[in-house]
Amino acid sequence: MLNDIKVGLLAATSSIKRGNKKTLIFVIFVLALIFVNLVFLPSMIKGVSGTMTTMLQDYNYGDIVIEPSGDNQFINDADGVLEKVRAVSGVKSATKRLDVAASIQYNQKTVGATTTGLIPSEEMEVSRYPYIINEGDFLGELSKNEIILGAMIAGTGFGSEIYDNLGEVKPGALVDVIYSNGIKKTYKVKGIMEGTFELVDLNALVNYKEIESVYGLNKSKATSIVIRIENPGKEDEIKSKIIEVGVKEKVSTWKEKSDALIRQAMESIDTIDIISKYISLIVGAALILIIVYINVLNRRKEIGILKAVGISKLSIVISYAFISMFYVSMGIIVGLILYFLLIIYFTYNPVSFYQNLKIIPEIQVNLIFNSIISMMVMSLIAGILPAWRVSKESILNAIWGN
């Protein structure tokens, strides 16, 4: 067996050296592109997922979010829960929110929007809401009858043309808000926020006390409690501590919440990614199979002579396996170079969505490793099959080409 491998390696080396260099370069380049397709598209998709996750963390969920348990609409005694949470070691800040459904009217135009009641001073350390006001000002602690509108529903932000909007509302304008319980209130637009993210720019913000007043919530209630921790990465540890101090409501890390939401949004893209991977592998396997098969057919006479002088079938098959692996190995090396050049380029020149939402590809080590293994296995199969078929022919048929 060892001698067969040595002979096969020698024959493969000789064949590659004597082969057409232009053809060799072309094959390696095509295989490199196939490898890049296997690893770069998923890296971009991962970048999209990562950007969406960051947005959800910055605005909706913080590091950890507490929500009503079971079929409850509200967290009862939200202030008591906040007191327990803030006493947990590792918790940096926390705040409560009330999310309700509402319709907003302006100049005979109406749009639906989730309206969030929040405590302005506490949001400074929990979310990025106070820092994305591109017109006007953020809510104050004593804000009453004032509202912050998302840029998309205000009709002033990028993407407004995609959704129903109020038609370029500016700070100072008066809008009517009709809440889900039928109560209608008039608010002065305090500011316009733009986070270049639908879940932000299609929403509205008011003071927490506004929602309490409209819905007659005399006791401490919330639809969510958003928490920031001191050391990012220890979300699971802090979550366990929060549960241990007696919080009975549903406690989730930002990863758990965003994974569930993004998984739905990314399913179609993931399907395209999987199809792309399989097509790339099939194309790569077909390319190697065709190249090796043509190579074998052109050298049938040589194979017949090698068998006549005592070279074993196994040595011949191994030689073409080595040739195939050489093609793919070089393709992978060139593909890796192209891949990292693309990663560097798009890291400094991100793909832009909307105006300032940047998508940066994320390197996935496991994906790269699995792609290398897949292509090497593909090369072995594609190299062995045609060589094995020709090697089984009789010596005379191989030499005379019958």
**What angle (nearest 5°) sits at the alpha carbon of residue 296, between those of residues 381 and 399?**
140
Give the residue from 29, 56, 98, 42 showing the smallest Cα distance to 258.
56
pLDDT of 172: 92
pLDDT of 217: 87
Give the residue from 100, 44, 361, 54 showing the smallest Cα distance to 197.
54
pLDDT of 338: 93
CB 383, CB 292: distance < 8 Å: yes
| CA–CA gap between residue 302 and residue 80 (Å, rounded) | 86
3-class DSSP state of 223: coil
Length of the chain in terms of residues written: 402
| CA–CA gap between residue 271 and residue 277 (Å, rounded) | 10
Residue reference for tokens 């009517």: 176
Provide the H-helix boundaries in 155-253: 198-201, 208-215, 235-244
| CA–CA gap between residue 201 and residue 207 (Å, rounded) | 17
Tokens for 158, please give them. 């990028």
Q: 136: alpha, beta or left, given left = phi > 0 and alpha = psi -120 to 50? A: left
pLDDT of the chain, 402 residues: tens digit per residue: 666 667 667 766 776 677 677 877 888 888 888 888 888 877 777 777 667 777 777 888 899 999 998 888 899 889 999 999 999 999 999 999 999 999 999 988 999 999 999 999 999 999 999 999 989 999 998 888 999 999 888 887 766 667 788 888 999 999 999 999 999 999 999 999 988 777 788 899 999 999 999 999 877 899 999 999 998 889 999 999 999 998 999 999 888 887 666 666 556 666 766 777 777 777 767 777 777 666 666 666 666 666 666 666 777 777 777 887 888 889 899 999 999 999 898 888 877 665 556 677 878 888 888 888 888 887 777 777 776 766 665 655 555 555
pLDDT of 347: 84
pLDDT of 206: 95
Listed in sequence order, the residues at least 6 apart from 41 whose beta carbon sits closer than 8 Å to its beta carbon are: 273, 276
* Residue 260 Cα to chain centre, angstroms: 13
pLDDT of 243: 92
pTM of the model: 0.66
